[in-house]
Amino acid sequence: MKKFRNLRTFLVLLAFLGLSISVNSQTWYCGDTNVNGGANVTATLSSGTLIISGNGAMANFSTISVGGILITNAPWGVHQNSFTTVIIEDGVTTTGSGAFRGCSNITSVTIGNSVTTIGYATFEDCIGLTSVFIPNSITSIELSAFSNCIDLTSITIPPSVTNIGHVAFWGCTSLKKLILTNSINPLTLGEYGSGVSPFYNCPNDTIYMGRNVNRAYNNNTWALFGTGVKHLTIGNSVTFIENTAFWGCSGLTSLTIPNSVTIIGEQAFNSCIGLISVNIPNSVTSIGLGAFSHCSNLTSVFIPNSVTSIGHSAFRNCSKLISIDIPESIISIRNSTFENCIGLTSVFIPNSITSIESGAFSNCSNLTSVTIPNSVTTIGFDAFRNCTGLNELTLNNSINTLILNSNAGIYTPFYNCSIATVYMGRDVNRNHNNDTWALFGTGVKYLTIGSSVTNISGFSFSNCSSLADVIVNRATPLSVLSNIFASVNVSNVNLHTPTGAECLYATAPVWQSFNIIGAQRIIIPSAGSGGSILPNTTQTVNCGQNIPFTATPNNCQEVNQWFVNGTPVQTGGILILLPIFRKMQRYRLLSKQ
């Protein structure tokens, strides 16, 4: 027996050294005798072709090391340089583990329609293999099945395959085209550790994905087919794009998602820096967290009304994204969804949104205006942090209070923004009532307070030293705290009130300190030709004051009527007390003698 093993090793060494051993025709039994029918499986080597035939499973084979290279210990291993073609005929059910490992001269393989499993390392290190046909009977391609087949350029996986083991095609450095034919059954890719996947170290650049593909372990993050994908076609049988499926595929420049897809998984296209535009079909209901994060050349995205959930950071660091319309099917803009989208100049927030979470638009430095609909009830801290171009903010009218959240009272929703114009159409409070930060930053110059506002929280506009104009749309002044405009010299701030309400604001606490436009009246008295009037010069008086005018008729004259702006207001009498309450800003007083 020892002599036989030594002879076999010698023959293998000859084969490894490339020395051909002349074989006319030879047949071996190679079945798994532990499986029904396995004893009937044979291998016949003839004229450069090795044919596996019979009914049943092939046996599993160990390997031997020759010069540090592992090759099969199957009986044909010593003749590995004598055949280039392997044919596994119908009737055989499995290929044996390690059966053709290291047979470097094999160039093509045909597998019969009865085979269900391609075993462990069956064709590993078959470095000359250029083509293999996998029939629709195969359900499992086990680990290392084709690893290091460096001349294999393309592979088609039939719909029958439901599992591909980890490193199944590892090191197939010429494998560029992968076709997963259409199937309603998902394909599971095995893995070893973190990132050692079936296609590890393969340069796949053309993918047809005709079915759902998932990992054996969902917590790992490797790209399904490697990061070299440039051309991707997704078939109509696909309903779910797996988490991190194409993460880091920087050469992917276009993407068409079919109407069959309902879920785009987490980080699915993260760091696909070649993508320019994405059109999401109206079949999609969910876009996972970070799905398009770091797609730095993405300029446009269409999101349909079918989408009900957009995960946090979904478009984070899409620095060239110009505009975005959020559909009305979304109720929350999640954390950091559009963070660092520095090219974003406009965003439409629909009336379905109830919350804008922390960091949602932070560092969107080219965003110039934002309208917050009345449906929004909370805005998270840092939501618009460092939006240094944000100049105009509109809070639409609402009877519901808007809550602004802060982190330790420092990082507020509008931290480090340059908001100059604010329309505040609703009550606004902080999540911590004892905080004193200005609601919209300290750069506010023009403020409009809507008629729906019933309360203004303390310190709302503190330190807004550039405040120039305030418009209030309430006929009745709000009762407000004196600290609302803390450290603001309001006497230099113009206050515009509804017509006829000037005098009410002129006597209201806090508001009376403003420069109330229309609260002063200019009176130009005139007595006519029949006498004189005192005072007889132009008078400027404030709302709420009364000013007396006395007429002195000439001899044989008497006062007939007093007129204000051409309207008679008093008949006779030499004295009129003119209360300053009317709407017009200038009075022309005339006493007719």
Three-state SS sequence of 260-287 = CCCEECCCCCCCCCCCCEEECCCCCCEE
pLDDT value for 21? 46
* pLDDT band per the 50, 70, 90 thresholds, residue 8: very low
Which tops the pLDDT comparison, 521 or 104? 104
Domain 520-592 class in CATH: mainly beta
Which of 426, 360, 357, 361 lies closest to 394 in space, CA to CA? 426
Say if CB 177 and CB 201 are below 8 A apart. Answer: no
Which tops the pLDDT comparison, 65 or 204? 204
pLDDT value for 2? 38
Whether the predicted pLDDT of 584 surpasses 50: no
Contacts of 217 (CB under 8 A, 6+ apart): 191
* pLDDT band per the 50, 70, 90 thresholds, residue 38: low
Which tops the pLDDT comparison, 332 or 588? 332
Which tops the pLDDT comparison, 552 or 106? 106
**Mean pLDDT, rounded, for 108-137:** 96
Local structure of 364: helix, strand or coil: coil
For 299-335, letters b (16+ CB in 10 Å) and e give bebebeebbebbbbbbbbbbbebeebebbebbebbbb
Whether the predicted pLDDT of 588 surpasses 80: no
Which tops the pLDDT comparison, 524 or 258? 258
Contacts of 22 (CB under 8 A, 6+ apart): none
* pLDDT band per the 50, 70, 90 thresholds, residue 195: low
Contacts of 219 (CB under 8 A, 6+ apart): none
Q: Name the one residue in this structure whose structure tokens are 């094999």.
A: 106
Q: Are strands 163-164 and 346-348 parallel, antiparallel or unpaired?
A: unpaired
**Mean pLDDT, rounded, for 478-503:** 93
pLDDT value for 520? 72
**Mean pLDDT, rounded, for 131-143:** 96
Question: How far apart, in whole angstroms, are the C-alpha atoms of residue 124 and residue 129?
Answer: 10
Percentage of the chain beyond pLDDT 90 is: 73
Q: Are strands 42-46 and 25-29 parallel, antiparallel or unpaired?
A: antiparallel
Local structure of 15: helix, strand or coil: helix
pLDDT value for 581? 46
Which tops the pLDDT comparison, 562 or 211? 211
Q: What is the DSSP letter of 401?
A: P
CA atoms within 13 A on the CB side of 354: 2
pLDDT value for 19? 42
Q: Name the one residue in this structure whose structure tokens are 């290279």.
A: 69
Whether the predicted pLDDT of 300 surpasses 60: yes
Contacts of 330 (CB under 8 A, 6+ apart): 307, 308, 309, 310, 350, 352, 353
* pLDDT band per the 50, 70, 90 thresholds, residue 262: very high
pLDDT value for 142? 96
Whether the predicted pLDDT of 482 surpasses 80: yes
pLDDT digits 0-9 by tens, 351-409: 999 999 999 999 999 999 999 999 999 999 999 999 999 999 999 999 999 999 998 76
Whether the predicted pLDDT of 13 surpasses 60: no
Whether the predicted pLDDT of 320 surpasses 70: yes
Q: Where are the domains of the chain?
A: 520-592
* pLDDT band per the 50, 70, 90 thresholds, residue 18: very low
Percentage of the chain beyond pLDDT 70 is: 91
pLDDT value for 194? 60
| φ/ψ (deg, to 5) at 466 | -95, 5
H-type helices in 324-470, by residue range? none
pLDDT digits 0-9 by tens, 206-235: 999 999 999 887 767 789 999 999 999 999
Whether the predicted pLDDT of 245 surpasses 60: yes
pLDDT digits 0-9 by tens, 400-449: 999 999 987 678 999 999 999 999 999 999 998 788 999 999 999 999 99
Say if CB 181 and CB 204 are below 8 A apart. Answer: no
Contacts of 178 (CB under 8 A, 6+ apart): 154, 155, 157, 199, 204, 206, 207, 208, 225
**Mean pLDDT, rounded, for 62-87:** 87
Local structure of 470: helix, strand or coil: strand
Which of 57, 138, 146 lies closest to 101 in space, CA to CA? 146
pLDDT value for 37? 61
Whether the predicted pLDDT of 292 surpasses 70: yes
pLDDT value for 551? 85
**Mean pLDDT, rounded, for 260-273:** 97
Angstrom distances, CA of residue 228 to CA of 163, 232, 252, 269: 22, 11, 8, 13
Question: How far apart, in whole angstroms, are the C-alpha atoms of residue 504 and residue 492?
Answer: 19
* pLDDT band per the 50, 70, 90 thresholds, residue 575: confident
The string of DSSP letters for 212-259 reads: -EEESSTT----BTBS---EEEE-TT--EE-TTTTTT-TT----B--T
- Most confidently modeled range among 30-44, 138-152, 428-442: 138-152
Amino acid letter for position 410:
I
**Mean pLDDT, rounded, for 184-200:** 85
- Element (H or E) spanning 10, and its range? helix 2-16
Average pLDDT, the chain: 89
